[in-house]
Amino acid sequence: MIKIVPLSSKNNVKGKTKITLNNIEIGGNRLTIIAGPCSVESREQIIDIAKYIKKTGGSVLRGGAFKPRTSPYSFRGLGRVALEYLLEAKKLTELPVVSEIMNTNELEYMYDYVDIFQVGSRNMYNYDLLEALGAQNKPVLLKRGLCASVEEFLLAAEYILLRGNNNVILCERGIRTFETSTRNTLDIGSIPVLKEKTHLPIIVDPSHAAGNKNYVISLTLAAIAAGADGIMLEVHNNPEKALSDGEQSLDYNMFENLIIKINETFRNIII
């Protein structure tokens, strides 16, 4: 029987995969900071946040246009108009943009607006979507499914790689366990496991893991210590008024303090 060596396996390529976007490199020697609101709420909001993130040391802007929400009565994103605002924020700041794609129908339209396609946790098992993203050439940030094992996570990445797109970024965002004191349980252990198994860059999202801004700083530092190539943080100009995930969003002060803390702890690791 022929033994299949997965495309995500370290045995398949020399060195680590590095994803280059303008002047940033994800998976290189420096830590990538992806930051921004959970959802794009208005033109003013995303531009203000983007400028702040740029000034403070972030390297990629995040912002949801299409939001997968547990309740259909929650804010589900502004849709296509949010992509226009993201593009404007990108032009003003030169920050590359990552935004979530929920289904293949939006791929062609979104292609001109985003630099990285995000696949949310709920869609990690959407193999049609993964294959469609594998057949285009922009990087894909693939979030771990909320109940997915590391093996299933890597096999989901395989669907993208198999179609020819090598620019896959893995994102650990916590998994569902019996524990309810945090929104999800951040699986810090998956970071060294993934680093051993794969050449793909690993980003950690402590915001969706914690569900509470007070835990985000500790989880960020833990993720970096465990070897993450980057961090994805929810940051909002007015978290109390946020239309989604305000409880876990850092305000400007907290974001700034976190950047200082990262640099103090890990000695100028940020791009």
Which stretch in 33-41, 113-121, 154-162, 171-179 sits in contact with Mn ion by CB under 5 A? 33-41
Q: Is 164 left (phi over 0), alpha (psi -120 to 50) or beta?
A: left
Is 213 among the residues that bind ligand PEP (CB under 6 A)?
no
Structure letter (DSSP) for residue 147: T
In the list Mn ion, ligand PEP, none, the entry touching 115 (Cβ below 5 to 8 angstroms by class) is none
- Whichever of 68 and 192 has its CB closer to ligand PEP, that residue is 68
- The answer to whether 77 contacts ligand PEP (rule: CB under 6 A) is no
Site residues for Mn ion, window 204-263 (CB under 5 A)?
245
By CB under 6 A, name the one of 64, 77, 134, 206 that touches ligand PEP. 64
Reading the block at residue 251, the tokens are: 């305000």
- C-alpha 150/C-alpha 152 separation (Å) is 5
Through-space distance between the first and last CA atoms of the chain, rounded to whole angstroms: 46
Nearer to ligand PEP, 39 or 93 (CB): 39
- Residue 127: partners with Cβ closer than 8 Å, 6 or more residues away: 156, 159
Least Å distance, CB 267 to ligand PEP, is 29
Rounded to an integer, what distance in angstroms lies between the CA atom of residue 8 and that of residue 156? Answer: 10
How buried is residue 116: exposed, middle or buried, by Cβ count under 10 Å (0-12/13-18/19+)?
buried
Q: Is 38 among the residues that bind Mn ion (CB under 5 A)? A: yes
Residue 63, amino acid: G
Provide the mask over 155-184, with x wherever binding to ligand PEP is found by CB under 6 A and - wherever it is not. ------------------x-----------
Smallest CA-to-CA distance from 172 within 132, 121, 136, 135 is with: 121
Per CB under 6 A, which of residues 227..266 are in contact with ligand PEP?
none
Binding ligand PEP (rule: CB under 6 A), the pick from 52, 85, 140, 143 is 143
| Contacts to Mn ion by CB under 5 A | 38, 245
Residue ranges in contact with ligand PEP by CB under 6 A: 38, 64, 68, 100, 120-122, 143, 173, 208
